[in-house]
Amino acid sequence: MKIINIKEISGVNIGNAQNFEAGTGCTVILCQDGACAGLDVRGGGPASRESQLLQPLAAADQIHAVLLSGGSAFGLDAAGGVQKYLEERGIGVDVGVTKVPLVCQSCLFDLTVADASVRPDAAMGYEACIEAQKENYQDGNFGAGTAATVGKFYGMDFCMKSGIGSYAIQTGDLQIGAVVAVNAWGDIYDWKNGQKIAGLLSKDKKSFRSTQEEILKSYQVVDNKFVGNTTIGAIITNGDFHKNQLNKIASMAQDGMARVICPVHTSVDGDSIYALSAGKVKADQDVVGTLAAQVFSEAILCAVKSAKGAYGYPSVNDVKKNWRNER
């Protein structure tokens, strides 16, 4: 088994578009030849489009793009630009008078980071498609991860900068990878050694606090919890799977999220994972599901480690450098 670049997985093109000043962006995964897809949603506050297409009883066998974006529910407008791009190229379901591209989308909440009035729109979605053809995808403060943050139990004053990340592997002919924008309420841990690497900062911002321990200080009901988080991503494989199998693979990939983020899948998150089959390699569903959890965990770590401090929020590298200097 070897590590590969996410761009090496055949059958998809991935692109970022963003507004750095306003602090938002989107990342598109184009499947221009169509791809079977599944979806698993575990968080209590998702913002999504065309999710029902991925249910086993829905008629659609394939979709043509997945869009990950900022902007909360406002960001759902960006999918219109992806549809326009694909329709112009004759890609979609043939309905006689035109072809209708099937575009699934999930959004994260980044409105409190910079300019809340600017959100991903159709123009940005279209731009992301153009960039996907150029294979411009990058990890870090780009696309849907432009303004992503983590560790927000006490609000934005004690959180850290995150981003978007990827990780992919190949074993034999089988390729599998993940792209994930990490905007979690909870803390981030390295699943291989249990070490916390990002999340809720202490009051003096010179150490970490445990979000889980802070939560457990009180069990009083909070009636109006603010839903301002969400980790969204996609598993991409050249394995040959149908929609039912991909829903299961997406479900197994959620284990990878749970290994790295704590707390996770809360009512204030919208944690969602897509799974896309963009190839014809025959592979065992449970093997691929197990690998999906692994690559998703690693993509989350990549998102956090690739991020740079921005908008007043420190990154992992900033924190390590500052704490090292203070010692």
Give residue-wise pLDDT tens across range 13-34.
999 999 999 999 999 999 999 9
**Which residues, 6 or more positions from 283, have their beta carbon under 8 angstroms from its beta carbon?**
174, 237, 239, 240, 241
Tens of pLDDT, residues 232-271: 999 999 999 999 999 999 999 999 999 999 999 988 888 9
Mean pLDDT of the region 47-51:
94
**Burial state string for 193-211 with b = 16 or more CB within 10 A and e = fewer than 16:** eeebbbbbbeeeeeebbeb
Please give the mean pLDDT across all residues of the chain: 94
**Which residues, 6 or more positions from 298, have their beta carbon under 8 angstroms from its beta carbon?**
167, 178
Question: Does 226 have pLDDT greater than 70?
Answer: no
Distance from CA of residue 217 to its chain's centroid?
Answer: 30
Give the lowest-confidence range in 138-142, 223-227, 252-256. 223-227
Considering the entire predicted model, what is its pTM? Answer: 0.95
| Nearest one of 97, 96, 86, 26 to 62, comparing CA atoms | 86
273, 200 Cβ separation under 8 angstroms: no
Q: What is the pLDDT of residue 222?
A: 61
Q: Which CATH number fits domain 2-326: 3.40.50.1980, 3.60.70.12, 1.10.150.120, 3.90.1580.10?
A: 3.60.70.12
**Which residues, 6 or more positions from 98, have their beta carbon under 8 angstroms from its beta carbon?**
87, 92
| Nearest one of 42, 43, 40 to 51, comparing CA atoms | 40
| Nearest one of 107, 251, 258, 264 to 184, comparing CA atoms | 264
Domain ranges of the chain: 2-326
Question: Does 106 have pLDDT greater than 50?
Answer: yes
Question: Does 224 have pLDDT greater than 60?
Answer: no
